[in-house]
Every structure is written in structure tokens, then in C-alpha cells.
A = this chain, B = another copy of it.
Amino acid sequence: MADVAAEAHVSVKTVSRVVNHEPGVRPDTAERVRAVIERLGFRRHDGARLMRQGRTFTIALVVEDLANPFYSQIGAAVEREARIRQHQLITASAEGSPSRERAVIEALVGRRVDGIVVVPADESASSDAVLEASHTPIVYMDRPVRGTPRDTVLSDNQGGIRSAVEHLVAHGHRNIAFYGDDPAFWTARQRRDAFVATHEGLGLPSSPRVSMGPHTVGSVRETLIPWSAGPEPISAVITGNNRITLAVLLALRELRLPLSLVGFDDFELAALIDPPVTVVHQDPAAMGQKAAQQLFARLLGDESPAQTVVMPTRLIVRASGLRRAPLGR
């Protein structure tokens, strides 16, 4: 701390305030102190010393696709948590392939990263043996894995979908369809099951109409057409993620179908579409932060049993769910 204070031309007390996130430090001063901490901190941790200590001050994040906004927000949050602790972050895309994920994790372990945050491609936990053998801490995100309990950070998928169904029903909808992602994904099944359970719990007249993906505009259109005609036409749609919301919006526009809609996942321009899209918001940045914090707790010696944290979701009401269904439906 004295080194940092000297280099940043501030008092040790000021450095302490910055480190402990206490008030009373000007933003530009805090920025300067943090820059010095990073510079000095990193310098101390160079090559040979790291090897000797058996720590690399590097953590890793493995996701499906870094370009997807859901994962890039996770990435930014994990990188920030790493940076403020003077660690570096290696990122890798497994492209949804379990074999690629396994190869990537083996490589990361071989390079001796201190810990790994993974959004797993499936539930098989195929890297378990490698992780066990190397004692590399891991935190799973978004989807759990089978086998040995591991630290896991999930979204409240079921609560999110329930709030979507209840919102639509409260606004007069009785015939609602659900478009979910590929049921190979745990999250897709969770959301589907929550839709069916809420639908049944509310005693809605028709049987729940569910179409699972992977979806394209074409595959959505195929069921939208019959479901919006006939004796019990749907008046509203719930989607299982932001990609499907996009496909549904395009299909509704093509077919000129003015159905109500609640999407899972917020997206940047949801407020600019006509009508603005009501969504179930999950917070990937908060999930990433939580996962990284849990990983660092393990790196600092926390040996309590593996825990699963379920992060809340929130319904952001815009207008697309408000349209009242015609009377008599």
C-alpha cells in the first residue's frame, strides 16, 4: 500500500479507501490509484515467480459464443472482477460443442489457469475428471451439470416464465403459445416446463401450445399460421430467448399478425419496436459477477460445500403484452 501511495502521490489512507470502495475519494484520484495498483500488482507477478508459487493469476471463461450479447455481457463482468483482483482473463468459445468444450478446458487446465467459469454446452460434466485431478476450481453458469455438486449460478427461469404467463392472462389472454429453444438445453426445458405448469395451474381452457426449437422464422411461421386460425386462436406468444423473440417478431410482421408478445431476455432496441416489447429480463452481468466472485472465494480458500445461486429475473413491462384479447376468447 505504501508503494502504491507513493507512486500515485496520495496518502495510504486514500489507497485504503479506494481498495475498500469507501466514499471520500475524487473519481480521477481513485482512477489513478487503481491504475497504479494494477501496474504494480501485475509487475510483482511475473513469469518465474508465478511458476514458483504455483499460481498463474489467470482465470478463464468458456462460453458458447463470445459475440452473442448474453455471453459478452457475462464476459465483461467476469473480466472486470478479474481485473480488480489483478488477475487476467482467458476467454474461449466452445461453440456449443461438448467435445470442443472438453478440449478447451483440458487445455486451460494444462496451462494451469487458477480457476474456470463455464457456461456448459451440456449437462454431462465431461471435464470432471480433469478438474478433479488438477484441483482447478470451477463455477458453472446458466446451466447446471450432473454428477459431483459444483458451484453454479443460474437464472430464475421458472419464475421468469411464470411472470410472463400471468402478465398476459391478467390482460385478458386465454390462448397463449410458447416458442422455446432446442430441448437439448436445460434452460429451454426449464422454461417450457414452467410455461406448461403455469398454464395448467391457471386452468386455461385449451391445452398449452408449445413449439420447441431450434427455430427459424420459417419454423415459427409453420405453427403460427394454424395456431392463429381455427376455433381457439392464440392471441399471444411467449418466447424462450432473445434469438427466438427476433424470429417471432419477423414472422409476425411477415404474416401481419397483431399478436401480443412477451420475450425472454431483454434486448437493446426492445423499446424502439412498435409496439415496444415486454420482456423477462435476466441479468447476465450480475450472473457473471456472481460467478467470478464465487470463483475468487474458492481461490481464497473457501471450502464450504458447493452452492447453487439462483439470480432473480424481472418482467419489464412495455406495451407488447398489454393488448387486450378480443372479448369472447
Partner of A249, one of B72, B108, B272: B272
A111 to B46, Cβ gap below 8 A? yes
Which residues of B sit under 8 angstroms from A34, Cβ to Cβ? 100
Determine if B93 and A80 form an interchain contact, defined as CB atoms under 8 angstroms apart. Answer: yes
* Structural contact, B83 and A72, CB atoms closer than 8 A: no
Does A246 count as interface, using CB distance less than 8 angstroms? yes
In Å, the complex CA distance between A246 and B269 comes to 8
If A66-B75, A72-B66 touch, whether A42 touches B273 (CB-CB below 8 Å) is: no
Tell me the chain A residues, 247-275 only, with Cβ under 8 Å from chain B.
249-250, 253, 267-269, 271-274
In this assembly, does A324 line the interface, its C-beta being within 8 Å of a C-beta of chain B? no
What residues of B have a CB within 8 angstroms of the CB of A273 in the complex? 269, 272-273
A90 to B93, Cβ gap below 8 A? no
Bound together, the chains give a CA A80 to CA B95 distance in angstroms of 10
| Alpha-carbon gap, A107 to B36, bound state (A) | 11
Is there an interface contact between A89 and B91, defined as CB atoms closer than 8 Å? yes
Query: With A103-B39, A104-B38 in contact, do A97 and B66 touch (Cβ < 8 Å)?
Result: no
Q: Once bound together, how far apart are the Cα atoms of A4 and B293, in whole Å? A: 38
Establish whether residues B83 and A76, one from each chain, have CB atoms under 8 Å apart when the complex forms: no
**A167 sits at the interface (CB 8 A):** no
State which residues 201-249 of A face B: CB under 8 Å.
246, 249
Q: Give the residue among A51, A100, A103, A249 with the most B Cβ atoms within 10 A.
A: A103
**Does chain B have a CB within 8 A of A73?**
yes
- Residues of B near A35 (CB, < 8 A) are 97, 99-100, 102-103
The B-contacting residues of A in range 32-71, CB under 8 angstroms, are 32, 34-36, 38-39, 41-43, 45-48, 51, 58, 65-69, 71
Let me know if A281 is at the binding interface, CB within 8 A: no
- Scan A103-115; emit 1 where CB is below 8 A from any B CB, else 0: 1101110111000
Complex contacts, A125 vs chain B, CB 8 Å: none
CB proximity of A179 to chain B, nearest CB, Å: 17
- Within the assembled complex, what's the spacing in Å between the Cα atoms of A272 and B245? 12
A29 at the A/B interface (Cβ < 8 Å)? no
Residue of B with least CB distance to A38: B103
A79-B93, A274-B274 are known contacts. Are A39 and B246 too (CB-CB below 8 A)? no
Quick one: CB contact mask for A175-188 with B, threshold 8 Å, 1 for yes? 00000000000000
A92 / chain B contacts, CB cutoff of 8 Å: 79, 83, 88-89
Would A38 and B107 count as touching, CB distance under 8 A? yes
Q: Is A5 an interface residue (CB 8 A)?
A: no
Q: Which of B47, B48, B93, B249 meets A76, CB within 8 Å?
A: B93
A285 at the interface (CB under 8 A from B): yes
* 9 pairs, CB–CB < 8 Å, chain A vs chain B: A34-B100, A43-B106, A43-B110, A58-B111, A75-B91, A79-B91, A88-B92, A89-B92, A269-B269
Q: Nearest 3 CB-CB pairs, A to B?
A: A42-B107, A72-B72, A67-B76
